[in-house]
Amino acid sequence: MKIIVAIKQVPLRDSPLHPDSSGKWIDETDLGFEINEPDAYALEEALQLKEKHGGEVVVLCAGPERAAQTIREALAKGADRAIHITADDLGALDTLGVAKLLAAAVAPEKADLILTGLQSDDLGSGQTGVVMAELLGTPHSTIIMQVETREGNIRVKRELENGWFQHIEMPLPAVLTMQSGSNKLRYATLMGIKKAKSKEIRRVTPAELGGAPTAVATIEKVYLPQKSKQTQIFEGDAKSAAAQLVEKLKFEVRVL
Amino acid sequence: MSILVLLEQQCGQWHRMSWETLSAAQQLGAALGQSVEAVVVGKGIGTLASEVATKKVAKVWAVEHDLLDSYTADGYTAAIEELIRKTQPAVVLFPHTYQVRDFAPKLATRFLQVLVSDVIAARVDAGVLTLVRQFFQGKLNGDVRVSGAGPLFASLQAGAWRADALESGSAAVEAFAPAVSADKIRQKPEAPFREAARAVDLTAAEIIVSVGRGIKEQSNLPVVEDLAKAFGAELAASRPICDAGWLPMERQVGSSGQTVAPKVYIAVGISGAIQHLVGMKGAKTIVAINKDPNAPIFEVADYGIVGDLFEIVPALAAEVRKAKGA
């Protein structure tokens, strides 16, 4: 079974976020980066499927030079090779543009399964996998917890709202967007890290993939949200802040 | 030009966000000078369509087909695509539900458009629509504009518009039979199910102490367990804690877990991603303890303490015990 895992590199979870001088995106200088968390679960699912059924896991990532680090980490965890769509100006594209590049890189691979996270922790549009499936002409399903492979098709467990689930069957090839938490994530072993150094990372440019259309959806401005509710913040050391809070809970909220 | 608004139903039951989205469509229709046409999709939806017809809309489309009885991404995309090509709306609005997330991006792609998802507000300046959505799990907001030839597609976040602002009216229901064919529907859905019955009913709790990623390690959990004990509260958690297996899934609050509305909700080390907020923002009083003063949890909190939870939580437990003893 040949599986492609589309991953994205995003700022570290606790990064301080400030708009840059253009006001249209965040200032990325001094930020650290890591794999988008749901994509890490997609990678884990792919590696487990490979362990069960054999085959190949190919990592696909579009991003600037720095994304190479995240790609190496995925190879160290056990992916066989990688495709890096190198571009510094992906921020100028919208979901359709990025999905077009990813789909163009995926198409010649003739993979059985394409996995990605259900959404990115930065843009959070939650659409890249679905749009990719449409462009590739394959069926898809989203927010997937489990994948069962069968002869020529798969049966997946999809998460619905409020604690409901559903199984869905569909033919291969297919695109699935994976929910976080469905598996336990592995760490790279020392051997894995060593092996990753000699694994292939094929670099391609957007131009080599036929380019991407001009964005139809553009971010005009990013900013800190305006607070709609007045939060009363208790200052002072831990003991005094805690005492002030308890006073409120006892005499105003009346729960103590 | 019109605004087409898709209402979501399952087995004859409305998704509550449908009415919020219809209300948003009415407000945007007034601001843009466009009529609103509502869409109901499924099989045997006559009663539902008649109910929508009592709201202030120009028309209700009842999109019916045997193959639309159970939701599939392929079936819904094909049916709604056909209706959009026929009606040529300027804007298509959806509630931002799990189902919409599954097919609306595919639908928008058919029109070379991009769905603007999880929208929290909209503005009309000189006839131009600007949509506001969240980035970085609610830590930043952004203004988004859409150009291009096709209609503008947007899905609206739960709670961002109020269903009680919905205006009544009287409209005609028009049936629309899309040319959906079985061989084009590749997903075969089975009946939805729930996992084993929940042993913990968080919805009955008066006080909930809820823990998030800020707790860092499973071995630190006793810190919040002790606070819950001091309050006589139920212990709950955000998704990552349950995903990691540190607490059972049945203690999860949020869009994929339980929705709670206790007297007091104490969020410890929870940043407040929207998926969590939708599950608890109905609490009467919300307390947030977090090291990041810009964490979105403070958007909804009545009281807050900014700082290290490992110092604050034990101090709070001690103060609670003192207050109770007195």
Structural domain spans, chain A: 2-209, 225-256
Query: Per-residue pLDDT for B197 more than 80?
Result: no
Closest CB to B113 among A17, A133, A216? A216
Min Cα distance B211 → chain A (Å) is 17
CA nearest B113 in A: which residue?
A216
Across the interface, whether the CB atoms of B303 and A134 are under 8 A apart is answered: no
Give the pLDDT of residue A52: 95
In chain A, % helix, strand, coil (3-state, to 5) comes to 30, 30, 40
φ, ψ dihedrals at A40, nearest 5°: -65, -35
Distance of CA B182 to the CA centre of its chain: 31
The rounded distance, in Å, linking the Cα atoms of B194 and A78 is 34
Q: How far apart are CA A98 and CA A132, in angstroms?
A: 9
> Around Cβ B13, how many Cβ atoms within 10 Å?
9
**Residues ≥6 apart with Cβ < 8 Å to A165:** A145, A157, A158, A159, B192, B193, B194, B195
Of A217, A239, A242, the CB nearest to B116: A217
pLDDT at B326 over 60: no
Which DSSP helix (H) or strand (E) runs through A75?
A: helix A67-77
Q: So what's the pLDDT on residue B317? A: 97
Q: Is there a contact between A15 and A73 (Cβ–Cβ < 8 Å)? A: no
pLDDT in tens, B170-180: 999 999 999 99
pTM: 0.91
Cβ–Cβ contact A256 with B under 8 A: yes
Tokens of B135: 């980035």
Among the partner-chain residues A215, A217, A222, the one whose CB lies closest to the CB of B141 is A222
Q: Sheet harboring B264-268: ordered strands across?
A: A232-233, B303-306, B285-290, B264-268, B207-211, B234-237
Chain B residue with CA closest to A135: the answer is B109
For residue B203, the model assigns a pLDDT of 86
- If you average pLDDT over every residue of chain B, what do you get? 94
- The residue to which tokens 């009606």 are assigned: B87
- DSSP three-state, residue A134: helix
Alpha-carbon distance of A100 to A213, in angstroms, equals 8
Put simply, the answer to whether B324 touches A243 (Cβ < 8 Å) is no
pLDDT at B255 over 80: yes
Residue in B109, B118, B299 closest to A134 by CB? B109
**Residues 6 or more apart whose Cβ sits within 8 Å of residue A256:** A246, A249, A250, B231, B320, B323, B324
| Chain A residues touching residue B311 (CB < 8 angstroms) | 238
Helix, strand, or coil (residue A36) = coil
Q: What domains lie within chain B, and their CATH numbers?
A: 2-184 (3.40.50.620), 202-325 (3.40.50.1220)
8 Å CB contact between A11 and A63: no
Q: Which of residues 42-61 of A touch B (CB under 8 A)?
A: none
Which residues lie closer than 8 Å to B227 by C-beta, 6 or more apart? B209, B233, B266, B268, B313, B314, B316, B317, B320
In degrees and rounded to multiples of 5, residue B109 shows phi and psi of -60, -35
In sequence order, the 6+-apart residues with CB closer than 8 A to the CB of A192 are A75, A76, A77, A78
Torsion angles phi and psi, residue A192, rounded to 5: -60, -45
Cα–Cα dist A8/A56, whole Å: 20
Q: Cβ of A12 under 8 Å from any chain B Cβ?
A: no
pLDDT in tens, B199-219: 788 988 999 999 999 999 999
Smallest Cα–Cα separation from A84: which of A109, A56, A65? A65
Percent with pLDDT over 70 in chain B:
99
Contact between B272 and B300 under an 8 Å Cβ cutoff? The reply is yes
Question: Judging by DSSP bridges, how do beta strands A174-178 and A140-149 pair with one another?
Answer: parallel
Sheet of B172-176, strands arranged across: A217-223, B140-146, B128-135, B116-125, B152-156, B91-95, B2-7, B35-42, B59-64, B172-176
Instruction: Kindly list the distances between the CA atom of residue B135 and the CA atoms of A102, B180, B299, in Å, as whole numbers in the listed order.
Output: 22, 36, 15
**What's the rounded mean pLDDT across residues B22-31?**
97
CB A232 to CB B303 under 8 A?
A: yes
Instruction: Compute φ and ψ for B235, nearest 5 degrees.
Output: -95, 130
- A154 CB-near residues (< 8 Å, 6+ apart): A113, A147, A148, A169, A170, A172, A174, A176
Question: What is the pLDDT tens value at each position of chain A, 256 positions in all?
Answer: 999 999 999 999 889 999 999 999 999 999 999 999 999 999 999 999 999 999 999 999 999 999 999 999 999 999 999 999 999 989 899 999 999 999 999 999 999 999 999 999 999 999 999 999 999 999 999 999 999 998 889 999 999 987 889 999 999 999 999 999 888 899 999 999 999 999 999 999 999 999 999 999 999 999 998 877 789 999 999 999 999 999 999 999 999 8
As a whole number of angstroms, the distance between CA B116 and CA B109 comes to 12
- Cβ atoms of B225 and B281 within 8 Å: the answer is no
Question: Which chain A positions have a beta carbon within 8 Å of B244's beta carbon?
Answer: 181
Q: Which residues have a Cβ under 8 Å from the Cβ of A131 and sit 6 or more positions away? A: A95, A96, A99, B105, B106, B108, B109
Q: State the complex-level ipTM.
A: 0.93
Please work out, in degrees rounded to the nearest 5, the angle formed at the alpha carbon of residue A38 by the alpha carbons of A35 and A42. Answer: 95
| Composition of chain B by helix, strand, coil, percent to 5 | 35, 30, 35
**Rounded distance, CA A64 to CA A178, Å?**
24
What is d(CA A74, CA A80) in angstroms, rounded to the nearest whole number?
A: 9
What is the full DSSP assignment across B107-150? HHHHTT---EEEEEEEEEETTEEEEEEEEGGGTEEEEEEE-SSS
Over residues B29-73, the pLDDT tens digits come to 999 999 999 999 999 999 999 999 999 999 999 999 999 999 999
For position B198, what pLDDT does the model report?
Answer: 66
Contact B182, B69 (CB under 8 A): no
- Average confidence (pLDDT) over B89-109: 97
Q: Which residues of B touch A173 (CB under 8 A)?
A: none
What is the CATH architecture assignment of A2-209? 3-Layer(aba) Sandwich (3.40)
